[in-house]
Amino acid sequence: MAEKKKYSRTSYKRKRNLENRDTRPSAKLSYARVSVQKACFVLDAIRGKDVQSALALLQYNPRYASSIIKKLLESAIANAENNNGMNAENLYIAACYADKGPTMKRVRPRAQGRAYRIEKRMSHITIVLDER
């Protein structure tokens, strides 16, 4: 009688995840104190560009989110050079997106004892690079 090979669910999932892993260099910033909408204005401007022109755009962009994203892009470039051995001149931004994070709820006092809610939104920003 031929004996079946037994796989546990976790070992099967671990093997599948190793095969489907994305090997492109990336950097992620969690809980950034900027809303998704405001971060996406800056991310849309740099998506698909090479890293040198993207850094130049972020340097002179007046929005607050551009300073955060500039640091994140520099981190992704350093990851590509140190971990993957890639050349910085050949890199471009393959994907960049902002996901919604938790919202801090605050109260603003108003007239006649009322209170209005202020929502301070957060986002998780991800930049993925690739080589041309």
Residue 21 has a CB neighbour count (10 Å cut-off) of 8
Least-confidence region, from 6-15, 39-48, 74-83, 105-114: 6-15
Q: Is the pLDDT of residue 122 over 90?
A: yes
- Beta strands 91-109; 26-32: pairing state: unpaired
Q: Which pLDDT band, with edges at 50, 70 and 90, does 63 fall under?
A: very high
Once rounded to an integer, what is the mean pLDDT over residues 111-122? 97
Provide, rounded to the nearest whole percent, the portion of the chain with pLDDT above 90. Answer: 77
Least confident span in 20-29, 40-49, 58-67, 96-105: 20-29
Give the residue, 97 or 6, on which the prediction is more confident.
97
From the options 3.75.10.10, 3.20.20.70, 3.90.470.10, 1.10.490.10, give the CATH code of 25-131.
Answer: 3.90.470.10
DSSP, residue by residue, 2-39: PPPPP--HHHHHHHHHHHT---S-EEEEEEESS-HHHH
- Report pLDDT for 36: 96
| Residues 109, 115 contacting (CB under 8 angstroms) | yes
**Average pLDDT along the chain:** 93
